[in-house]
Amino acid sequence: MRLNELAGKEIVNLYDGSRLGVVGESDVVIDTETGQIQAIILPRRGGPIGFWLDRQQLVIPWEAVRKIGAEFIIVDLEQAHAVPRRF
């Protein structure tokens, strides 16, 4: 699968059924030596004002990806394993 084929797919968490975001509004961490995806980084959205003030991000390790379908990417991500980042 090519990276551009992931664009537009919505990420859904198998753990709690929540919608986490859409690939294309996210960043992807790629190992430059192997070319393999290491993680997907999604912006967290708290609301219209919170979006500008709170720049947290959710890092989803590639190992958490369980299934890639035509419209969705299913990940298994417990809140305890979510890695919030502030920049």
What pLDDT digit, counting tens, does each position of 22-65 carry? 888 788 899 999 999 999 998 866 555 544 445 578 899 999 99
Provide the Cα torsion 62, 65, 69, 72; round to 10°: -90
> Which domains, ranges and CATH numbers included, belong to the chain?
3-86 (2.30.30.240)
- What pLDDT does residue 51 have? 47
